[in-house]
Structure 1
Amino acid sequence: MTNTQTWAPLEIEAKGEGGVDQLLVQIGQLEGGLADTLVREKGLVFRGFGITEDTLDKVLDHLLPSRLAYVHGNSPRTKVGGNVYTSTEYPQEFDISMHNEMSYAHAWPSRLAFFCQTQPGTGGATPVLDSAKWLAILDPEVREAFAGGVRYVQNLHDGYGLGKSWQDTFETSERADVETFLKGTGAEWQWRRDGSLRVESQRSSTTKHPVTGVEVWFNQADQWHPSGLGDDTAAELYSILSADELPQSVTFADGGEIPAEYVVQIRDRGLESAVNVDWRTGDLMLIDNVLLAHGRRSFTGDRRILVAMSD
């Protein structure tokens, strides 16, 4: 683990020959139990237990009592098992900025588990960041500007176009299923003549942890804003589509434009303050999704990380 910070996730090394049964034994020996330990430490990294894709289910059944589907997820990924997904399919030459999983949604997972099936050739760490620290390191001007919340907009195509389709996003081909889901989210939506779906959702920019009560930065404005993608990518998108046609975009809750310099500050300070968790094949990390944001460093080689989540 590369780390110049005073905080890092708790690393738990296998005793003896390791194995999944030994992992479960050591989890049972955690002071206060798994739930209390995770809140206290924010993240746990398990190394040397020899976890494989074949034994992953047994581990996840213990760590994630109620595994969730990635419904309404905006990141490109592939489902590989029982609510287990590739962590992302974003091009490997780019970093992925810090975020709390599905913080743009009406409900989000409380826990995330990352499993390293294949370690990267070089790079490829998963950076993690204390979400309360992220809030604290932003300029007061930025925090104040976001106090009223944000508004996310998704334009989901019908099978052909930029970004994700509504079928992939909601894991269904039935419009009625999508509408049933959206009715419980507080979102506004509209089906377009070309079969696409537009969804608008107003959300808070921060939240409080249900156990500790600590307030944390909790939104994905920098990932939904073109300026967070880098100048060249943003310029290319704007040359093809108007701001209202982008696959995803974000404004302040009142519809006001978010300044590009705010977006860059949020993205860059998050990445600069994060702690890198480096991967070896068979490693597994469990994080509290409210207390910790996560991202991805660029890499070479055949890195394959699987992810699962629970409420």
Structure 2
Amino acid sequence: MTGIFHPVSETSVKMSFLDPDKQFPLVVEPIAEGLGLWAWATGHRELIESQVLQYGGLLFRNFNVNGSSDLEALIHSLSGEPLEYRERSSPRRTISGKIYTSTEYPAEQTIALHCENSYQESWPMRIFFHCLTPAAVGGETPIADTRKVLTRIDPEIRQRFINKQVMYVRNFYHFLGLPWQTVFQTADKAEVESYCRENKIEIEWMEGGHLRTSVVREPVLTHPQTGEEVWFNHAMFFHVSTLEPEIQEGLLLAFQEDELPSNSFYGDGTPIEASVVKELRQCHQQEMVLVPWQQGDVLMLDNMLVAHGRLPYSGSRQVLVGMAQLIRRDPEIGSALLSKI
């Protein structure tokens, strides 16, 4: 959000902005060395919640944080029980409990800005990242305020998406991308079918045993706590044009657009123009702030207010992820409001 920053009266920490021009994200650092993040955060839950709703993201830096156990305890304290990663779209490994690795795409690839699980019927309202090992070069996490991204999109394009909505088509092969058993965390077809019915996903079992799904979702939602409209969807992230050029070319030689591991269309099934996806990328880039990781950092994001991604890197990089606070679309009220469950 814009405006003059008024630091909260809190003697144990200092607060500033990683990007002073965008006033985003808010950086919280201890005044004295040796302060444990979990202990401090447990006593300041209301402060943290108010600041994350105002600024979208908080970067906790120079606190004592000891790996996955501390991250899981922090999530429990601030946001409740960590969530299982279901209806997956990216490769991750479980570290412990419900703490995972960040997306394990090859280091040379860029991960486009997106809001976690925005293609789903339900998603985590809070997402936490914890840096164990920063990359030797690169590997920053770009983030962008989805409220501001929405206002940058051409009004005609924005209204077109609102009117048509977005269709996500996914194909789960055993030889490319994630198989359906990994995506849905079960090898039981009946369980997959039940999950899809409950979440308004159309399914088709294809020749060779692979699964194709399609679902139509709203691209713009109203945040249930702030009342602000946000750009919340995977239209750009899933679109074939977001892939690295050589990957995109190879896939389109082998598959039709509705046969790709993932692709997005307008809700009526018509293609989203490349020029439109290009504008969506530009709008995200104009609001993008890079978070250069330091060992021990914890980045807490409101998943509806902030999109995130990853830049290419070299060297080893280990960032853990945990999610919490399941939010579901409200079918009775419609796309404008959500209900927490």
Output the TM-score relative to the length of structure 1. Answer: 0.93
Shift of 1:169: 0.6
In the alignment, which residue of structure 2 is the partner of 1:145? Answer: 160
Equivalent residues in 2 for 1:194-273 (5 A)? Answer: 194-273=208-287
In the alignment, which residue of structure 1 is the partner of 2:329? Answer: none
In the alignment, which residue of structure 1 is the partner of 2:83? Answer: 68
- In the alignment, structure 2 segments of 5+ residues that lack a partner are 1-16, 326-341
Report SS of the residue matched to 1:286: strand
Please tell me whether residue 165 in structure 1 is matched to residue 179 in structure 2.
yes
In the alignment, which residue of structure 2 is the partner of 1:156? Answer: 172
Q: Equivalents in 1 of 2:23, 2:47: separation in Å?
A: 21
1:5 is aligned with what amino acid?
A: D
Report SS of the residue matched to 1:108: strand
Output the TM-score relative to the length of structure 2. Answer: 0.85
Report SS of the residue matched to 2:122: coil
In the alignment, which residue of structure 2 is the partner of 1:18? Answer: 34
Report SS of the residue matched to 1:18: coil
2:19–2:25 contact (8 Å) kept in structure 1? no
Q: Equivalents in 1 of 2:35, 2:186: separation in Å?
A: 37
Q: Equivalents in 2 of 1:85, 1:138: separation in Å?
A: 33
1:97–1:270 contact (8 Å) kept in structure 2? no
In the alignment, which residue of structure 2 is the partner of 1:46? Answer: 60
For residues 229-272 of structure 1, the C-alpha deviation after alignment (integer angstroms, 9 at most, x for no partner) is 14432221110111221111111001111101111221233134
For residues 208-234 of structure 1, the C-alpha deviation after alignment (integer angstroms, 9 at most, x for no partner) is 100111111111111211111144322
2:29–2:62 contact (8 Å) kept in structure 1? yes
In the alignment, which residue of structure 1 is the partner of 2:125? Answer: 110
In the alignment, which residue of structure 1 is the partner of 2:51? Answer: 37
In the alignment, which residue of structure 1 is the partner of 2:116? Answer: 101
Q: Equivalents in 2 of 1:123, 1:206: separation in Å?
A: 32
State the identity %.
36
1:23–1:49 contact (8 Å) kept in structure 2? no
Q: Equivalents in 2 of 1:78, 1:142: separation in Å?
A: 37
Report SS of the residue matched to 2:187: coil
In the alignment, which residue of structure 2 is the partner of 1:274? Answer: 288
Distance 1:165 1:85, change over 3 A: same
For residues 67-102 of structure 1, the C-alpha deviation after alignment (integer angstroms, 9 at most, x for no partner) is 111111201221221111111111222222111111
Shift of 1:23: 4.1
Report SS of the residue matched to 2:299: strand
Match of 1:128 among 143, 149, 153: 143
1:5–1:275 contact (8 Å) kept in structure 2? no
In the alignment, which residue of structure 1 is the partner of 2:107? Answer: 92
- In the alignment, structure 1 segments of 5+ residues that lack a partner are none
After superposing on structure 2, the runs of 4+ consecutive aligned residues of structure 1 that deviate more than 4 Å are none
For residues 111-132 of structure 1, the C-alpha deviation after alignment (integer angstroms, 9 at most, x for no partner) is 0000001111122111111101
Which one has the bigger strand percentage? 2
RMSD across aligned positions (CA): 1.8
